[in-house]
Amino acid sequence: MRDDVAEESGQTIRVAVVDDQPSIREAFTRALASRPDIEVVATGASGNEAVAIAAAEHPHVIVMDIRMPGLDGIGATQQIVAAGPHPPRVLVVTTFNLDAYVYEALRAGASGFLLKDAPPQDLVAAVRVVARGDAMLDPAVTRALIGAHAERVRPRAEPAEALERLTPRELEVLRLLARGMSNAEIAGVLVVTRETVKTYVSRLLAKLGLRDRVQAVVLAYRAGLADE
């Protein structure tokens, strides 16, 4: 079964929690394990442990700290994403004073991030969002950080050139993605089914040569679509 449909199909979401602070690790584990649709299959305290857990336990989602001794969360995410065709999705947890690392984590392949002081229900919701293939892009925080850091690393190739490959409807979907909308929210705006939105997202990712929704949002910011 594909990882991105685990939650939608009713399959238990397998989660690993990796953080070098025992208190954080234990709190996250308690919050997640208390939900009937989530199973915490492993915990770790370093990036190297995260890589080993991904290979051995095949979780659907890894809740990953950024700053850890040895291999950090960014390096671990890079290795995990590069290891196979359907790697676990990575939800990065961070604090406000670590925002300089957020964009690098997303570039490494993370599916989103959550602030460490978020309430337990937000952590649970974020894991479910990431498990079903959506990006965890909080409108109040994440989009601003992605926009700022995307601008700093603007590539030489203009994103507008790539966007010419999209149909008007695919471009509209991309614009809504850049606003942090989920598939369900986009479906409501466009008055189509969620499956139709998933098809549009898959097509635009393929046309743009992008790995996932997070990369699509970054490209949209670079192209100025989020400001329209």
The string of pLDDT tens digits covering residues 94-127 is 875 555 676 677 778 888 888 888 889 989 998 9
Residue 148 lies in a domain: no
Q: Are residues 92 and 199 in the same domain?
A: no
Closest CA to 146 of 186, 194, 105, 115: 105
Judge if 24 and 129 occupy the same domain: yes
Q: Does residue 143 lie within any of the structural domains?
A: no
How confident is the model at residue 95, as a pLDDT? 74
Q: Residue 159: its pLDDT value, please?
A: 59
CATH number at residue 127: 3.40.50.2300
Q: Is residue 169 domain-shared with residue 212, that is, in the same domain?
A: yes
Using a CB cutoff of 8 Å and minimum separation of 24, what contacts does 119-123 make? 120/27, 120/31, 123/28, 123/31, 123/32, 123/63
Q: Could you tell me the pLDDT band of residue 156, with boundaries at 50, 70 and 90?
A: very low
Tokens standing for residue 22:
């025992």
Taking the C-alpha atoms of residue 215 and residue 108, their distance in angstroms, rounded to an integer, is 10
Domain membership of residue 54 as a residue range: 3-136
Do residues 166 and 103 share a domain?
A: no
- Say which residues have a Cβ less than 8 Å from residue 178's Cβ, sequence separation at least 6: 143, 216, 217, 220, 221, 225, 226
Would 147 be classed as within a structural domain?
Answer: no
**Selection from 128, 126, 163 nearest residue 142 by Cα:** 126
Q: Do 97 and 176 fall within a single domain? A: no
Task: Please state the pTM of the whole predicted model.
Answer: 0.68
- Residue 46 clears pLDDT 90, i.e. is over it: yes
Q: Give a yes or no: residue 142 inside a domain.
A: no
Report the pLDDT averaged over residues 7-34: 89
Average pLDDT over residues 6-11: 55
Mean of pLDDT over the chain: 82
Report d(CA 128, CA 63) in Å as an integer.
Answer: 12
Asked if the structure places residue 146 within a domain, the reply is no
Averaged pLDDT, 133-149? 57
> Residues 167-184: pLDDT tens digits?
999 999 998 887 778 788
H helix or E strand, kind and range, residue 161: helix 159-163
pLDDT for 155 beyond 80: no
pLDDT on residue 34 = 94
Tokens of 130: 């990431």
Within this chain, do residues 118 and 167 fall inside the same structural domain, yes or no? no
Same domain, 121 and 8: yes
DSSP assignment letter at 136: B
Q: How many CB atoms lie within 10 A of CB 128?
A: 19
Please tell me the predicted confidence (pLDDT) of residue 37. Answer: 95
Q: How many domains does the chain have?
A: 2
Checking if the pLDDT of 35 tops 90, the result is: yes
If you average pLDDT over residues 79-83, what whole number do you get? 92
